[in-house]
């Protein structure tokens, strides 16, 4: 019976004397998003450069997928301009990876 009471207290988060453990320094520094990510202009005209910037000046890995999920562009960027002349008009998905963190956005090409 005691086991059931303890399980219920844990499961339903019933107040107890236990204190919560604060996050460690390593947990504080885990990034889950690319700070200041900007992908402009939106929409972009085919052949017009797409500017991809963030707060960090690190290199970025860019993958663009078509509406069938096929990878149609892959580039490691060290500057902020992406050439879109090889992209057909339509709605695409763009993935930007920087320092091990990936952001996914919709990319409209006119």
So where are the chain's domains?
A: 33-109
- For residue range 14-52, what is the model confidence (pLDDT) as tens digits? 444 445 555 555 555 677 899 999 999 999 999 999 999
DSSP string across 11-40: HTT---SPPPPPPPHHHHT---S-TT-EEE
Pick the CATH number of 33-109 from 3.90.850.10, 2.40.50.100, 2.60.40.3080, 3.30.390.50: 2.60.40.3080
Tell me: pLDDT of 76 over 70.
Answer: yes
What pLDDT, on the 0 to 100 scale, is given for residue 94?
98
């Amino acid at each position: 019976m005691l086991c059931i009471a303890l399980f219920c207290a844990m499961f339903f988060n019933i107040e107890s004397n236990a204190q919560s453990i604060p996050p460690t320094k390593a947990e504080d520094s885990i990034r889950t998003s690319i700070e200041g990510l900007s992908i402009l202009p939106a929409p972009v005209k085919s052949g017009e450069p797409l500017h991809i910037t963030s707060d960090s000046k690190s290199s970025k890995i860019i993958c663009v997928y078509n509406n069938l999920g096929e990878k149609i562009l892959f580039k490691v960027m060290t500057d902020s301009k992406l050439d879109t002349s090889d992209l057909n008009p339509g709605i695409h998905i763009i993935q930007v990876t920087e320092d091990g963190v990936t952001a996914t956005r919709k990319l409209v090409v006119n």
